[in-house]
């Protein structure tokens, strides 16, 4: 069965632009995803030179943007017989309805929604400790990143918070 985002009527570029805040995308990340979609639609070969020229950035910044998008599971880069292939299909697997439900719930209800089950007492205690140490907004951001990476556990969320704190 064909995925909903592969239907001819679906406008990927409009969806990306409408959901960039929910996806926590910066301007250059968004533009890169739009360029990838544009290149796919128009059979344009993507290269780092092409992307750097369009984004008006240096190779190092492009590497950082690509790395961020790959870590968020919004972009896959695969080598094939025809060269390097950029795949943004996983981006469209982001559950905007679940995100919106979690935006309107308190943090503990959000955890239940995102995890898809009630949390154990130890998980709730760990969440409480992390919220106390890093703040609710940072915790929710880390939860969204963990959900995007499909690694829903408190240790992963804590790792995100610690890594963010080091920056």
What stretches of the chain show up as alpha helix (H) in DSSP?
Answer: 12-19, 27-41, 48-55, 59-71, 96-103, 107-115, 121-134, 136-148, 154-166
CA–CA gap between residue 157 and residue 136 (Å, rounded):
13
The answer to whether 107 touches 140, Cβ cutoff 8 Å, is yes
Host domain of residue 119: 96-166
Token readout for 33 is: 């995803």
Structural domains counted in the chain = 2
> What are residue 85's DSSP bridge partners?
78
Q: Do both 19 and 86 map to the same domain?
A: yes
Q: What pLDDT, on a 0 to 100 scale, did the predictor assign at position 143?
A: 92
pTM of the full predicted structure? 0.61
Instruction: Single out the residue in 44, 67, 93 at which a domain terminates.
Output: 93
pLDDT exceeds cutoff 90 at 80: no
Instruction: Single out the residue in 32, 61, 93 at which a domain terminates.
Output: 93
pLDDT exceeds cutoff 70 at 101: no
Q: What pLDDT, on a 0 to 100 scale, did the predictor assign at position 58?
A: 96
pLDDT (tens digit, 9 = 90+) per residue, 6-55?
788 889 999 999 989 888 899 999 999 999 999 989 988 888 999 999 99
CATH number for the domain that contains residue 9: 1.10.10.10
Query: What's the mean pLDDT in 60-86?
Result: 88
Q: What pLDDT, on a 0 to 100 scale, did the predictor assign at position 5?
A: 76
Q: Do both 60 and 76 map to the same domain?
A: yes
pLDDT exceeds cutoff 90 at 62: yes
Q: What pLDDT, on a 0 to 100 scale, did the predictor assign at position 106?
A: 81
């Amino acid at each position: 069965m064909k995925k909903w985002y592969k239907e001819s009527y679906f406008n990927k570029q409009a969806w990306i632009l409408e959901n960039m805040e929910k996806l926590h995308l910066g301007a250059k990340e968004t533009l890169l995803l739009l360029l990838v979609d544009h290149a796919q639609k128009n059979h344009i070969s993507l290269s780092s030179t092409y992307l750097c020229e369009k984004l008006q950035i240096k190779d190092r910044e492009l590497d950082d943007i690509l790395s961020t998008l790959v870590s968020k599971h919004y972009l896959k880069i695969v080598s094939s017989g025809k060269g390097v292939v950029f795949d943004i299909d996983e981006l469209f697997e982001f559950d905007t309805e679940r995100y919106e439900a979690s935006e309107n719930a308190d943090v503990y209800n959000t955890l239940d929604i995102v995890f898809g089950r009630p949390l154990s007492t130890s998980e709730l205690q760990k969440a409480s400790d992390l919220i106390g140490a890093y703040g609710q907004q940072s915790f929710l951001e880390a939860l969204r990143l963990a959900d995007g990476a499909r690694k829903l556990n408190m240790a992963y969320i804590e790792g995100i918070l610690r890594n963010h704190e080091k920056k």
